Amino acid sequence: MDRMIDDIALNAMSWAREAGALLLKYFRGDDLDIHTKLNDSDIVTAADKASEALLISHIRECYPSHAILSEESGATDGDSGWRWVIDPLDGTTNFGSGLPVYAVSIGVEYKGETVIGVVFAPYLNEFFHAVKGQGAFLNGKPLKPSTIDSLSRAVVATGFPVDKNVTSDNNLDNLERVMPMVRGIRRLGSAATEICYVAAGFLDAHWELNLHRWDVSAALLIADEAGARHRFFRDDRNISVVTASPQIFPLIDPLLSESARK
């Protein structure tokens, strides 16, 4: 099994680099063909679709019995216990606006547990990966979270749900509680990248609500393998998760838990 996981990981890493190179060809170009999905805040581009097609083609060719869950194409069944969870372009709004924080995210699950995580930010040339039990890495170097132990010195990140135009449950309550307590709040626009930045110690925490499995599957394994902590703090808003360094987690988590008791 370990050999199989390592072989799959090598393929996932290779395909993530290939998809990242494809995204770079579209980035800041004139052929993005941007369309809206749920609303004007929820968009898809030709680059999303091309990256997804490339990844799915590789998976189906090499692992025809594996299931796939992908942001644009949804779910396909498999009978092997393996599932690929892919976001072909995490941070589409950034990408469509010419902002460089975006990534390819590939998580591989076995019997419901994520065992491989790859997040590649091609413009930034930041390649994160982890295999369960083997640690987490950025461009081949081991990751570890920050050691800051007070909220007043912490820099944290968050995001806002795509349905913010039709609900008041839009993360502003959490923002109001956290903002006075921390050194700074950032909104980078790619949940996968932000969670990996917690793993690397660039951020001290990240939280967001109403995410999906493809947003977090790979990144949460990378954070866990680096030594960060995470918790799903809501069970009524899809995936709502906080990830933080071990020192900051017990300080920020209670602030977010309040919103689950509405």
Length of the chain: 262
Annotated binding residue at 71? yes
Query: b/e string for 146-174 if b means 16 or more Cβ within 10 A?
Result: bebeebeebbbbbbebbbeeeeebbbeeb
Annotated binding residue at 87? yes
Q: Is 151 helix (H, G, I), strand (E, B) or coil?
A: helix
Pairing of strands 155-158, 205-211: parallel
Question: What whole-number distance in Å separates Cα of residue 40 and Cα of residue 117?
Answer: 30
Annotated binding residue at 90? yes
What strands lie across the sheet with 126-131, from one edge to the other?
A: 74-76, 67-70, 82-90, 103-110, 113-121, 126-131, 136-138, 141-142
Annotated binding residue at 215? yes
Annotated binding residue at 89? yes
**Whether the Cβ atoms of residue 214 and residue 85 lie closer than 8 Å to each other:** yes
Binding-site residues for Mg(2+): 71, 87, 89-90, 215
Binding-site residues: 71, 87, 89-90, 215
